[in-house]
DNA sequence: GAGATGATTAGCT
DNA sequence: GCTAATCATCTCC
């Protein structure tokens, strides 16, 4: 069953990031349903987080999505090539978001292979935020869309990982953020082959 | 209107 | 390990 609207209103974005590990993310785009369970996330904690687009309360046409009430998507283009998929959390006016960095695919593997131009299923089919978005068919058309829509949603299927199998560490690719780059806002399943970068 | 840059990835050495 | 690819967005004029 889909996670309820209230799940996304939690003001503690770091706690939600950890809780999302093991939840199932689905998309239904162009008539094709694809999905899998989340194995890696990163929290971006609003105006006080130097690594976040919304640091210092910055509002632009792009980042205004982050200020919406929790429960919508935030998709943007990075490096001119890669779409990144985030989930906005907390209440309106609090620009909290969670970057989904990797999932373990369970549904629509053949569709993902087509989208990724791959002949066989390899771990890197959904490893890393850019790859994951492409495999699931996520594009900027999906920006600011409700997570309870029929296009994109998250389900709780009862899968959980014990604390000792979920690791926390510094976020990836945010070296420019100074001390905030060291915050343990990244969560991942230890040893999972779909987790990007260090996974031990 | 122009110039700089990034929450990355794939491919080559 | 290193680096090119590639463009929307942001910042200043």
A 10 A CB-CB count for A196 gives: 21
- Quick check: A100 and A27 in contact, CB under 8 A? no
Is A194 contained in some domain?
Answer: no
In a domain, residue A171? The reply is yes
Residue A126's CATH number: 3.10.300.10
Which nucleotide across the nucleic acid strands is nearest to A84, CA versus C1'? B7
Within a domain: residue A114? yes
CA/C1' separation A130–C5 (Å) = 14
Q: A118-170, pLDDT tens digit by residue? A: 999 999 999 999 999 999 999 999 999 999 999 999 999 999 999 999 999 99
CA(A179)–C1'(B8) in Å? 22
Helix (H, G, I), strand (E, B) or coil at A6: helix
Q: What is the pLDDT of residue A200?
A: 66
Q: Which domain holds residue A108?
A: 5-189
Could you tell me the pLDDT band of residue A198, with boundaries at 50, 70 and 90? confident
- Asked whether residue A200 is assigned to any structural domain, the reply reads no
């Amino acid at each position: 069953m889909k996670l309820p609207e209230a799940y996304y209103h939690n003001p503690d974005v770091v706690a939600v990031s950890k809780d999302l590990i093991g939840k199932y993310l689905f998309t239904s785009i162009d008539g094709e349903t694809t999905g899998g369970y989340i194995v890696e996330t990163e929290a971006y904690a609003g105006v006080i987080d130097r690594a976040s687009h919304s640091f210092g309360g910055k509002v632009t046409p792009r980042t205004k999505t982050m200020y919406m009430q929790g429960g919508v998507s935030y998709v943007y283009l990075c490096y001119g090539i890669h779409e990144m998929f985030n989930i906005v959390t907390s209440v309106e006016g609090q620009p909290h978001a969670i970057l989904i960095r990797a999932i373990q695919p369970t549904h629509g593997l053949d569709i993902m292979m087509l989208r990724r131009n791959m002949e066989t299923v390899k771990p890197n089919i959904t490893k890393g935020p850019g790859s994951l978005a492409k495999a699931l068919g996520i594009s900027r058309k999906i920006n600011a869309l409700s997570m309870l829509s029929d296009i994109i949603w998250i389900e709780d299927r009862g899968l959980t990982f014990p604390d000792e199998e979920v690791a926390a560490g510094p976020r990836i690719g945010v070296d420019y953020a100074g001390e905030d780059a060291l915050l343990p806002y990244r969560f991942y399943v230890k040893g999972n082959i779909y987790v990007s970068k260090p996974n031990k």
